[in-house]
Amino acid sequence: MTTRTAETGVAAGAGGAAGGSGASVARRATGRAGAVSPGRSRTLRVRGTDQGTPRTLTLNRAREELGLDHADFELALALGEITTVGGDAGRPRVPEREIARVREAGGGTGALLARLKLVNTTEGAELLGISRARLLRLTRAGHIRPVRWYVNRYRALVWLYLADELREFAAASPALLAGRLPAAVREAAEDGEDQRPRGWRSRRVAQLVRDAPGPWEEAAVWAALLGRGITDSALPDPSERARLRAIHAALPPGRPGPLADAALIARLTTADDPDEIALGLVALADALGRARDRDPAPRRSLRRLLRARRQVTDG
């Protein structure tokens, strides 16, 4: 299937989960498209159900309490607008006090929905009072990172941005909204450069790393970003590779839509820039080092497997 790139339509985004010590590397590993932070707050890491632990709700119950649809709630979780705590079997839950916090904050749930508003390039240009072509050049050059993407019914790839972040960009960089664009932006457009996929990956990886409950989960995010070929070359231990794939076989794309084929998803979710790959390898090595120190079980499991295999062969 051929998918053309377009900037039409509006779609709600999907959720994600990821944090940890690799969050700063997550931003660096995806290049200059990282002008905006991946989330406003971090996922709380609470384990167990001690008597002193505040009452929590399932994700679906919390969503219903706030009156949000699935897409808005998932986006709020991904952006850190609503924090979660660990529940049984690793399932995240929402503290009851978080529901109260959102309701009692200025503007309540309505203000939250305003912060979650997504726009495409056409709508974003109207919001900023500039031409669509100008905003498209700025997003392609990496000045603004997309939050979501999906494939519409015309099989066109659509990138979505937070309206709030566009306003923040306009306030911080008014010179880019009028007059002649900087040479770097013009040259990027002439060269066909498009930083949007890498910018989206930087945000997605930062979210997943942010919420990773442990170093193995964090390492799995980096392995998914790098792809199977690069990860296998960097990680000779087959038991460790299997453990990482069991956690994340691929970088979760969110809600790309039913018309997004596997080839497109793989292209958009896998690192393809040399700098992005190099920094991803550094982050993978760092997370694996911490994972091995904390839980080196995969290597012991492999040794037991090889020992059992030798016993069968010798017998």
What is the pLDDT, as a whole number, of residue 33? Answer: 43
**Distance (Å, rounded) from C-alpha 159 to C-alpha 196?**
8
pLDDT (mean) for 135-148: 96
Maximum distance among all alpha carbons in the chain? Answer: 81
Structure tokens at 157: 């790839």
**Distance (Å, rounded) from C-alpha 74 to C-alpha 103?**
17
Q: Give per-residue pLDDT as tens, 83-103.
A: 998 877 678 899 999 999 999
- pLDDT class for 303, splitting at 50, 70, 90? low
Rg (CA), the chain: 21
For residue 311, pLDDT over 90 is answered with no
pLDDT (mean) for 207-236: 95
What is the pLDDT, as a whole number, of residue 88? Answer: 74
Q: What is the pTM of this model?
A: 0.79
Structure tokens at 6: 């377009």
**Distance (Å, rounded) from C-alpha 305 to C-alpha 315?**
15
**Distance (Å, rounded) from C-alpha 167 to C-alpha 264?**
30
81 CB neighbour count, 10 Å cutoff: 18
What is the pLDDT, as a whole number, of residue 190? Answer: 85
